[in-house]
Amino acid sequence: MGVCRLLLLTALFLLTYTVSADPDMLQDLCVADLSSRNSLSLSLYFFMRSVRVNGFTCKANITADDFFFAGIGNPGLTNNSMGALVTGANVQRIPGLNTLGVSLARIDYAPGGLNPPHTHPRATEVVFVLEGQLDVGFITTANVLISKTIKQGDVFAFPKGLVHFQKNNGMVPAAVISAFNSQLPGTQSIATTLFAATPPVPDNVLAKAFMVGTEEVQEVKSRFAPKS
């Protein structure tokens, strides 16, 4: 009975762990000390190097500004190669979000702009269209594309961890507000992750995965190389 009970408790723990988002907070607030390494004493710093914190340590002195960010009220600049810009409002911009399990972002798209295929390993995403029209979609683990055209006032959800994208196929700019159930959802852009990793993913691995030659892989990698 002891072994069976232990197995049951282990299964319940794993189930709870895998379906939850960020861990629940155990106090009213825990404002992130984003400069904790700089403020530690020397002896404490060397001790902390062997201890990993899942998130950020809490700071003692807090202000209203720790819960404030004015950076997503205005459109972002979209004059880049993708014609889109993501402005995050997460714990790195709002330290007061530490342990709260939520964050926002604003995404702006020029006409033809693309937020390329990517994943958020730690969060489900919900977008609300501020202006314009977007073609959006995500791909399930069975390789099924779920896609739709959304317009101003519409809401669309992208399940946690699944590859998804947004594309402005219109003639005018578009913008959305994104909400996440994580203080720091993380983003892995598929192309950048594969072709601009450091150290690089071996050419022969990518060539076999994409069923192309190593020359084609090197050509794509060159496009992601930092501009000198």
Return binding residues for Mn(2+). 118, 120, 125, 164
Phi, psi of 220 (to 5 degrees): -65, -45
From the DSSP assignment, how many helices (H) and strands (E) are in the chain?
6, 10
Question: What single-letter DSSP state applies at residue 202?
Answer: P
Query: Could you tell me which residues are annotated as the binding site for oxalate?
Result: 115, 120, 125
Read off the tokens for 32: 């992130």
Which of 144, 173, 172 minimizes the C-alpha distance to 159? 144
Query: Could you tell me which residues are annotated as the binding site?
Result: 115, 118, 120, 125, 164
Which are the contacts of 138, defined by CB distance < 8 A and separation ≥ 6? Answer: 145, 146, 147, 158, 159, 162, 163, 164, 165
